[in-house]
Structure 1
């Protein structure tokens, strides 16, 4: 599997949308995710693991706790991961169960977890 793009919305430490474009690495098959403590390295790995398997990369984080504490109440938490496997390109879109602000009226509503897999090419 070769990662192509990872998009995180209101996920982990990231309140807004973060896009990581792995295609910038070109044909390199090996790369390093590095940075200072607290910079979000584990969040990137959690997002990939959550997209593929529905759970974070470690035992300490449950999928219902992956929503960013800093995200606005109306922002949906979701991960979109595009990758190549063999000759095909796939895209996974996954979101955990979460409480979001109602679209009309006051209060919140519970949105169930959802997942979709698309074969792009």
Structure 2
């Protein structure tokens, strides 16, 4: 076992093996904080993590608009993280290369649904499938 950032992790068996982290969260709450820089520190602790899949946790939901559409704020947040990561200025790991999020579009008005359909994810973020 090794220790990194005060956390214990498993030993690195194959440091050259490319890994896609299939599930992670980012959040900033009163009970705890784990943001982009924390993830990058963990991702660079020895394993060769080349990309990650962000899974929503209702941490960055919008505070405005219809309740059923507020979760879109977290997808927007994760998309921003993907854009930061794709700049190359934070290392080789493509954080939030894919995003799993949810919004109940069945209860939105046609105008709200149109507005949502016009919003575009980051060009390198996947919609509906992983690109790796």
Greater fraction helix:
2
Tell me whether the two structures share a fold, i.e. TM-score over 0.5.
no
Q: TM-score, normalised by structure 2?
A: 0.29
Structure scoring higher RCO (CA < 8 A, sep ≥ 6) equals: 1
Alignment TM-score, normalising by the size of structure 1: 0.30
Q: Which has the higher strand share?
A: 1
Larger-gyration structure (1/2)? 2
